[in-house]
Amino acid sequence: MADQKRFNGVVSFNNRAHFAGNKADLVQGAGWTVPTPAVQHSIERRGDFIETTLLIDLSGLKSAGAGKVIGDDESTDLPSYFYQWNNEVNGAWVTGQLQCVETPAGGDTDIDMYANTAATLKYDSAAAGTHLFDVGTSAVTAFSNSRNPAGDDLDNQYLYLVSVGSTSAEYTAGKFLIKFVGQAEGTVA
């Protein structure tokens, strides 16, 4: 590409556009760092909506048993959230999807997702907060939709994966693709 231009603000295109990446800084707890990166992400604005996509790799992390936060068992004193939601970046949460793209192995396969105002939940902490996704009895076939009929505000909340079953073991495999849709601030649904 001989001609590359940088723009600040809104730009309209009539044909095709390629963007190298739309990422905000990834904010995750220090107890969620194996493997590096355990979370890959992108954030895209489409009109009045913002789509946040997260790819989570469980390899090297550990489930701690029923109702416990998943994380790095070597970092039991460090927070194990995998993402911090921010309405300015992600929009006000409207809906989301969680899809298993690699079957979890080793650790517990019954996994749910919670949001919590505290950034302090660690590996092996009891799950607490807003229950966002219920994957069901097995993440192997997971495709879970979550919507926000109660209007829960996730602004400045921290997202955690939680093992539902009793297995306490290290994951040797397992990937989830999570897509959230948020409404951009200042827009009307």
Residue 1 confidence (pLDDT):
45
In this structure, is residue 24 part of a structural domain?
A: no
Q: Which residues contact 108 (CB under 8 A, 6 or more apart)?
A: 63, 65, 70, 163, 164, 165, 166, 167, 168, 169
Q: Rounded to an integer, what distance in angstroms lies between the CA atom of residue 76 and that of residue 113?
A: 19
In this structure, is residue 176 part of a structural domain?
A: yes
Is residue 64 predicted with pLDDT exceeding 60?
Answer: yes
- What is the domain-level CATH number for residue 149? 2.60.120
Domains in the chain, number: 1
More confident residue, 136 or 166: 166
- 168: Cα separation from own chain's centroid: 22
The count of other CB atoms within 10 Å of the CB of residue 180 is: 25
Find which of 4-13, 73-82, 121-130, 137-146 is predicted with most confidence, using mean pLDDT: 121-130
* pTM greater than 0.85: no
For 73, the domain range is 39-183
